[in-house]
């Protein structure tokens, strides 16, 4: 029986989350421990992805508000760029702690700020909605499709869920999460 995330492909882990415990079975295995092993693997994955645990409702709400403001500010910066107020944008970015960007790269940096904030907003929504309701297998797959698409864009690499292990993928999600939070808190 597969008992570690390093031996379980991400494709099979998604299947596991959708309720297919058979992905853990190897030739000659006994089904008696399958449910316990499945629970442990899911716990291990969540521990890597979110080691600090589930945030309280107040902290979650605060984070949602910060992200909403960050998106609004980025959209205002885009509007300023569109009317050629680049000096004002540079000043505002500087006040936000973002310096040293070449003027021609400012629009793409603002687009990245929006994408990062949208990703964080979506992640928080997915986490809170997962706590409130039981997701169907299609919901689980769609959520991972969105997350995988973002990670491929963020890390500029292809992710094949049949090759990458759940452990490596969980660490990639955690790394992206840490990097984005660090950038958002600057």
44 and 101 belong to one structural domain: no
35-63 confidence digits (pLDDT tens): 999 988 988 898 888 777 644 555 777 88
Domain extent for 31 = 5-49
User: From CA 109, how far away is CA 91, in angstroms rounded?
Assistant: 14
Q: Answer whether residue 184 shows pLDDT above 90.
A: no
The total number of structural domains that make up the chain: 2
Instruction: Check residue 103 and give its pLDDT.
Output: 87
DSSP for 69-81 reads: HHHHHHHHHHHHH
Average pLDDT, the chain: 88
* pTM confidence score: 0.60
41 and 109 belong to one structural domain: no
C-beta separation of 98 from 109 below 8 A: yes
35 and 119 belong to one structural domain: no
128 and 76 belong to one structural domain: yes
Q: What is the mean pLDDT of residues 160-183?
A: 94
92 and 122 belong to one structural domain: yes
Model confidence at 64, pLDDT cuts 50, 70, 90, reads: confident
C-beta separation of 78 from 107 below 8 A: yes
Instruction: Check residue 54 and give its pLDDT.
Output: 40
31 and 81 belong to one structural domain: no
């Amino acid at each position: 029986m597969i008992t570690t995330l390093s031996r379980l492909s991400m494709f099979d882990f998604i299947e596991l989350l959708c309720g297919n415990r058979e992905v853990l079975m190897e030739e000659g295995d006994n089904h008696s421990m399958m449910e316990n092993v499945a629970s442990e693997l899911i716990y291990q994955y969540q521990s890597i992805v979110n080691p600090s645990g589930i945030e309280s409702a107040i902290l979650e709400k605060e984070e949602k508000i910060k992200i909403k403001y960050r998106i609004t500010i980025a959209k205002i910066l885009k509007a300023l760029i569109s009317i050629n107020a680049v000096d004002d944008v540079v000043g505002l970015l500087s006040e936000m702690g973002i310096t040293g960007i070449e003027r021609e790269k400012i629009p793409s940096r603002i687009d990245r700020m929006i994408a990062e904030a949208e990703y964080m907003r979506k992640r928080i929504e997915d986490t809170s909605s997962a706590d409130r309701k039981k997701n169907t297998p299609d919901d689980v797959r769609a959520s991972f499709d969105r997350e995988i698409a973002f990670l491929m864009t963020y890390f500029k690499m292809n992710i094949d869920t049949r090759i990458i292990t759940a452990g490596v993928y969980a660490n990639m999600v955690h790394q992206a999460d840490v990097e984005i939070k660090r950038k958002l808190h600057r």
